[in-house]
Amino acid sequence: KAGVTQTPRYLIKTRGQQVTLSCSPISGHRSVSWYQQTPGQGLQFLFEYFSETQRNKGNFPGRFSGRQFSNSRSEMNVSTLELGDSALYLCASSQLRGRGSQETQYFGPGTRLLVL
């Protein structure tokens, strides 16, 4: 079974631009979460989608948004990029998502975004 895939793997943008990142979860997985990883802040939760609905959102500004499609693929968008948005953006998928879920999350390789 193929793992979580993310595209593109690397991206260079300039301040003020916007960017869209894509994530394809493991086949059969319906939940997709996004995380931002930076050396200073570590791994921080952005948002989670399940069955095309955002179920949870982390403490990030509204410039960060996402969506999930009927095939469970997900995209995240960052508008008006700032230098501080440079990071590794990770997508993780899990099979189910119930209340108090203990489902394992599997991570993709990430998209490394550099904002100049």
Partner 1 sequence: GENVEQHPSTLSVQEGDSAVIKCTYSDSASNYFPWYKQELGKGPQLIIDIRSNVGEKKDQRIAVTLNKTAKHFSLHITETQPEDSAVYFCAARGGGSQGNLIFGKGTKLSVKP
Q: What is the contact surface with partner 1 in residues (CB under 8 A)?
A: 4, 31, 33, 42-45, 48, 50, 55-56, 58, 90, 92, 94, 97, 99-110
Helices (H), the chain: none
Nearer to partner 1 by Cβ, of 44 and 86: the residue is: 44
Nearer to partner 1 by Cβ, of 41 and 80: the residue is: 41
Which DSSP string corresponds to 49-100?
EETTEEEEE-S--TTEEEEE-TTS-EEEEE-S--GGG-EEEEEEEES---TT
Q: CB of residue 13 vs partner 1: minimum separation in angstroms?
A: 20
Q: CB of residue 104 vs partner 1: minimum separation in angstroms?
A: 6
Q: How many CA atoms lie within 13 A of 9 on its CB side?
A: 4
Nearer to partner 1 by Cβ, of 62 and 100: the residue is: 100
